[in-house]
A and B are shown apart, each in its own frame.
Chain A
C-alpha cells in the first residue's frame, strides 16, 4: 500500500542547451560541462503542412521528446497510452487570445481557440501518430512533473500496460512572463512499463514522503530545476544518467514530496 512501481524503457529530453537526452545525460553524469543556451525546438516534420503551421512551441516540444523516448525504447507510438503534464500549456497562444479579447473586435481564430485547450499538445501527438489509446492531460502548477509521474504509475499498476509520460513547459511572453517567470522551454518524456520488464533501463518505486527535496550543488543546474516546473524531474534523471541505483526526493505539494527509488 502506498508504493507504486514501474520500469523506464526510453527517455526523450529537450531543454535550454540540452538538444537531446544523450547530451543531457552527459551533463548530469558530469562528463560534459553544461553550456546554457536558448532551447531550440525542431520543426515538427511529422505533421501535415497545415497542422505544422499551426503548431506552437509546446506542440513542437512534445512531438520531439516523445519521438526520442519511443525510438530509445524501440517501440511504436501508435499503441501507447499517454499522460501529458504541463503547468501552463501554450503561453504564446494564451497571450494572443487575451490580447485579442482586450481589443475592440475580439476576433480570435478557430485555430487559436482549439490550440488554447490544455490538452492541445496531446491532441497533436495522437493525430501525428494515429494513436487512439487513452490520453490524459494533467496540471499541478509547480508539482506537475510529480503529479504526472504518479498518474502514469497508477495507470501502469491498474492496466498493466506501457504509458508514455510527457512533462513539458514553455515560457510565457510578456506581460504574463512577469507573473509567471518560466525561463525557457523544457520537456522530458519517459516511456514507462510494468516493473521488471526485460527491456528496462531502470526500475522505479515511488512513494509520498515529507523529506526535503533533492537539490543540485551546481548552481546552473539548480537554477534550471527551479525555473521550469518540468525540470523538477532533473534529480531523477541524474540517477538515470549516472546509471546509478539510489533514491531522490522530488518537489510535489507543499510539504508532501515524492520519493523515487531507482534500481538499475
Chain B
C-alpha cells in the first residue's frame, strides 16, 4: 500500500490527558490502574478510569449527545491541538474530503443501563429524556465527532469489539486509497460501563489485582477507558524523516469461537503477515511489537505462538495494557498512539506488573524501558468474534 502520513495524534486514558501525560507515564513505567470504584459497581477488580469526565461540558448545540462516552470523545479532541490540526486539514482538502472513522464497542450504553433502573413501575417505559440515537447507538460517537469537527466526509463507527479502532485505521486507509477522501480522522472512544465490567466478570476473565500480561500467574484483564485519535493524510511526495507513517494494515478472522482465540494464534498470525505484505516489509524489519497482551491466559498464549512463529524469539515486544487497562474498542487507536510515541521518542515501553515470566511464552518481552531508534513498529488488536487486525507504523525514510 501507499503509506499515509500520521500528521497529528493524541490520546487520553487513565495515564492522563494528552501526549505529554501519556509519554511521562510510559517513561516512568507508571500504571494508571486503581481499585474499582466506578458508579455502583461492586466487583473486586481494577479499572483504568479517565479522571474528570463528569465535569466535561459538550457544546450547547450538541447537548443531545451528552453521555460519558461523548464527554470522553470531547475531552480527547481538546488535547494536543488536535481540533486545530483537523481544521487545517479540512481547509487543505475540503470538508467533504475528510472522513471520520471511530471504533467503539459500547458507545453510550451506560446511559441505557442507568435508565433501565428508572423504568416506570407500571408501564416499564424508559424515562422521558432517554435518547437512544445520540447516546446508546454505536454511531453516536462518530456522529458527535463529525459535528464537533464540522466534517462532511464519509463517517462510520467500526464495531469489531476489541479490534474496533485498529480496523478504523484499515478502513480509512482503504477509502483514501480508493480516492473517495484525502484525509481521515481515525480513532477509538470507549468508556467504562456495567456491561463490560459484569460481562468480563461472567467470563471469569477479569483480574482481581492489576493485570499482569505475560506473567506466569496472569489471571485476566483490567478494563480501562480511552479516547485516542490520529489524523491520517495522503502523503506528500517530499517527506521529512520526522514524518510518521501508517505503512500497512492486515486483517483476518479466527472462525474459531466467539470469545476465545484460536489456541495457536493462526488468525493473529495471518493478520500480522498481511500487514507485513501490505507494507512490503519482512518480519526482520520490525523493531518493536506492541502486543494485544490482555493478560488473559488464552490471549497471551495464542498471541505469543503467533508472534514467535513469524518473528522468532528476539523482536522486542510488550503490552502496555498493564499501564492503561484494556480500553476495548479504543485499544487499537490508543496503542497506535503508543507506537507513534515510541517512534518519535525512540522509546520501547516496558510491560508492567511482570513478576515471573511465563516460560511457555517465548518472546523478547520487555520488562524495562529501552531507548533505541526505531524504523518500523507493529501493533496487534484482536476482538471477540475472532476479528484480528495488525497495523504497521514507521518513519519516513
Closest to A158 in B: B174
- The reply to whether A117 and B156 contact each other, CB–CB distance below 8 Å, is no
Question: CA A98 – CA B258 in complex, angstroms?
Answer: 21
Question: CA A153 – CA B254 in complex, angstroms?
Answer: 24
Interface residues of B (CB under 8 A from A): 96, 105, 109, 112-113, 116-117, 119, 123-126, 130-133, 137-140, 142-143, 146, 152, 154-161, 167, 170-171, 174-175, 177-180, 194-195, 198-200, 202-203, 251-259, 266-267, 270, 383-387
- The reply to whether B178 and A137 contact each other, CB–CB distance below 8 Å, is no
- The reply to whether B156 and A154 contact each other, CB–CB distance below 8 Å, is no
**A199 on the B face (CB < 8 A):** no
Closest to A88 in B: B137
Q: Which of A1-30 contact B (CB under 8 A)?
A: 1-2, 4
- The reply to whether A120 and B116 contact each other, CB–CB distance below 8 Å, is no
Q: List 30 A-B contacts (CB under 8 A).
A: A4-B180, A87-B137, A94-B112, A106-B198, A108-B198, A108-B202, A113-B198, A113-B199, A113-B202, A114-B203, A117-B160, A117-B385, A122-B160, A122-B387, A126-B386, A127-B256, A132-B266, A132-B270, A136-B171, A136-B387, A137-B387, A138-B159, A140-B155, A141-B137, A143-B139, A147-B154, A150-B180, A151-B175, A154-B178, A180-B137
Q: Select A119's contact among B160, B180, B195, beta carbons within 8 Å.
A: B160
Closest CB pairs A-B (n = 8) = A123-B385, A118-B159, A113-B199, A134-B251, A102-B116, A157-B178, A139-B138, A179-B132
- The reply to whether B180 and A154 contact each other, CB–CB distance below 8 Å, is yes
**What are the residues of chain B within 8 A of A2 when measuring CB–CB?**
179-180
Question: CA A126 – CA B258 in complex, angstroms?
Answer: 10
Question: CA A53 – CA B125 in complex, angstroms?
Answer: 29
Question: CA A118 – CA B167 in complex, angstroms?
Answer: 14
Q: Select A102's contact among B119, B159, B160, beta carbons within 8 Å.
A: B119
Given contacts A2-B180, A114-B259, A158-B174, contact A140 B157 (CB under 8 A): yes
Closest to B141 in A: A139
- The reply to whether B179 and A1 contact each other, CB–CB distance below 8 Å, is yes
Closest to A179 in B: B132
Q: Select B258's contact among A127, A134, A138, A176, beta carbons within 8 Å.
A: A127
Question: CA A180 – CA B134 in complex, angstroms?
Answer: 11
Given contacts A132-B253, A175-B125, A179-B126, contact A124 B178 (CB under 8 A): no
**What are the residues of chain A within 8 A of B139 when measuring CB–CB?**
87, 139-141, 143-144
**A246 on the B face (CB < 8 A):** no
**A31 on the B face (CB < 8 A):** no
Kindly supply a per-residue 1/0 record for chain A positions 155-174, scoring 1 wherever the CB is within 8 Å of any chain B CB and 0 otherwise: 10111000000000000001
- The reply to whether A119 and B387 contact each other, CB–CB distance below 8 Å, is yes
In the complex, besides A4-B180, A135-B387, A176-B126, 13 extra interface pairs with C-beta distance below 8 angstroms are A89-B138, A112-B199, A114-B259, A119-B160, A120-B258, A120-B384, A123-B384, A133-B253, A134-B251, A141-B139, A151-B175, A174-B125, A176-B132
Min Cβ gap B334→A in Å is 19
Q: Classify the secondary structure of B's interface with A.
A: mixed
Min Cβ gap A136→B in Å is 5
Question: CA A99 – CA B198 in complex, angstroms?
Answer: 13
**What are the residues of chain B within 8 A of A150 when measuring CB–CB?**
154, 175, 180
Closest to B255 in A: A126
Closest to B258 in A: A114
- The reply to whether A127 and B257 contact each other, CB–CB distance below 8 Å, is yes
- The reply to whether B252 and A133 contact each other, CB–CB distance below 8 Å, is yes
**What are the residues of chain A within 8 A of B158 when measuring CB–CB?**
136-138
Given contacts A97-B195, A106-B198, contact A140 B258 (CB under 8 A): no
**A116 on the B face (CB < 8 A):** yes
Question: CA A102 – CA B117 in complex, angstroms?
Answer: 5
- The reply to whether B160 and A137 contact each other, CB–CB distance below 8 Å, is yes
Question: CA A253 – CA B383 in complex, angstroms?
Answer: 28
**A219 on the B face (CB < 8 A):** no
**What are the residues of chain B within 8 A of A107 when measuring CB–CB?**
198, 202
Question: CA A134 – CA B387 in complex, angstroms?
Answer: 8
Question: CA A98 – CA B193 in complex, angstroms?
Answer: 11
Given contacts A116-B195, A151-B171, contact A98 B112 (CB under 8 A): yes
Question: CA A106 – CA B126 in complex, angstroms?
Answer: 19
**What are the residues of chain A within 8 A of B171 when measuring CB–CB?**
136, 138, 151, 154
- The reply to whether B267 and A141 contact each other, CB–CB distance below 8 Å, is no
Question: CA A189 – CA B241 in complex, angstroms?
Answer: 45
- The reply to whether A101 and B177 contact each other, CB–CB distance below 8 Å, is no
**A131 on the B face (CB < 8 A):** yes
Closest to A81 in B: B251
Question: CA A136 – CA B386 in complex, angstroms?
Answer: 11
Question: CA A102 – CA B118 in complex, angstroms?
Answer: 9
Question: CA A254 – CA B43 in complex, angstroms?
Answer: 42
- The reply to whether A138 and B157 contact each other, CB–CB distance below 8 Å, is yes
Given contacts A101-B194, A139-B138, A150-B154, contact A116 B160 (CB under 8 A): no
Question: CA A141 – CA B140 in complex, angstroms?
Answer: 8
- The reply to whether B195 and A134 contact each other, CB–CB distance below 8 Å, is no
Min Cβ gap A22→B in Å is 30
- The reply to whether B157 and A139 contact each other, CB–CB distance below 8 Å, is yes
Which one of A1, A107, A110 has the greatest number of beta carbons of chain B within 10 Å? A110
Min Cβ gap B252→A in Å is 6
Q: Select B156's contact among A102, A112, A140, A180, beta carbons within 8 Å.
A: A140
Q: Select A157's contact among B146, B177, B200, beta carbons within 8 Å.
A: B177
**A130 on the B face (CB < 8 A):** yes
Min Cβ gap A26→B in Å is 33
**What are the residues of chain B within 8 A of A89 when measuring CB–CB?**
138, 159
**What are the residues of chain A within 8 A of B137 when measuring CB–CB?**
87-88, 139, 141, 180
Question: CA A246 – CA B345 in complex, angstroms?
Answer: 55
- The reply to whether A136 and B126 contact each other, CB–CB distance below 8 Å, is no
**A58 on the B face (CB < 8 A):** no
- The reply to whether B385 and A120 contact each other, CB–CB distance below 8 Å, is yes
Closest to B196 in A: A113
